[in-house]
Amino acid sequence: MKEIIKSVHITLKEEGELNEVEQELVAAAKEATFRSYAPYSRFCVGAAALLDNGEIVTGNNQENCAYPSGLCAERTTLFYANSRYPDVPVRTLCIAARDTSGSFTKEPISPCGACRQVMLETEHRFGHPMQVMLFGTNGIYFIDSAQDLLPVGFDQDSLV
């Protein structure tokens, strides 16, 4: 028997420790939550992607009464970025969430499995890691790569 151990490196920063670009990404992700459509869950999620060309694109969750028909903020953002800038890699993806009263989550939220899979595919598509920032009012997690969120992911090598 062989044991395989995979670990994740997470850096925790307070908002006051963020550089200018990181502050801009957090602000964009938080602002995107106010455009989400979440009448059922009342959980508003926004995401902001910093592209290699310096552009920041945003997206948010869009719910539907037929639950599988909605889409998460992370996928909305990445699909929009890839449709608008198909040849430009995503450098960083920042995610924030709040309730309908406007209170942001204290602890950082983590993407669902489907979003993690799309994030992993985005990394593979462009051949380099995408940093992930998970916002919470108690601090922001910085994760070096989407691969760290899905260490045993399904990728093109699985299709043999």
What's the domain count of the chain?
1
Residue 75 near residue 68 (C-beta atoms within 8 A): no
User: Does residue 28 lie within any of the structural domains?
Assistant: yes
Catalytic residue among 74, 107, 121, 123: 74
User: Does residue 128 lie within any of the structural domains?
Assistant: yes
The residue range of the domain holding 50 is 23-138
Residue 130 near residue 99 (C-beta atoms within 8 A): no
SS (H, E, C) 64-114: CCCHHHCECHHHHHHHHHHHHCCCCCEEEEEEEEEECCCCECCCCCCCCHH
Q: What is the pLDDT of residue 100?
A: 87
User: Does residue 91 lie within any of the structural domains?
Assistant: yes
User: Does residue 8 lie within any of the structural domains?
Assistant: no
- pLDDT of residue 160 exceeding 80, the answer is no
pLDDT in tens, 91-138: 999 999 999 889 999 999 999 999 999 999 999 999 999 999 999 999
User: Does residue 2 lie within any of the structural domains?
Assistant: no
End-to-end alpha carbon distance in the chain: 25
Residue 70 burial (CB < 10 Å; 0-12/13-18/19+)? middle
Question: What is the C-alpha separation between 32 and 19, in angstroms, rounded?
Answer: 20
CATH code, domain with 74:
3.40.140.10
User: Does residue 151 lie within any of the structural domains?
Assistant: no
- pLDDT of residue 157 exceeding 90, the answer is no
User: Does residue 7 lie within any of the structural domains?
Assistant: no
Confidence of residue 155 (pLDDT cuts 50, 70, 90): confident
74 is annotated as an active-site residue: yes
Its pTM surpasses 0.85: yes
User: Does residue 87 lie within any of the structural domains?
Assistant: yes
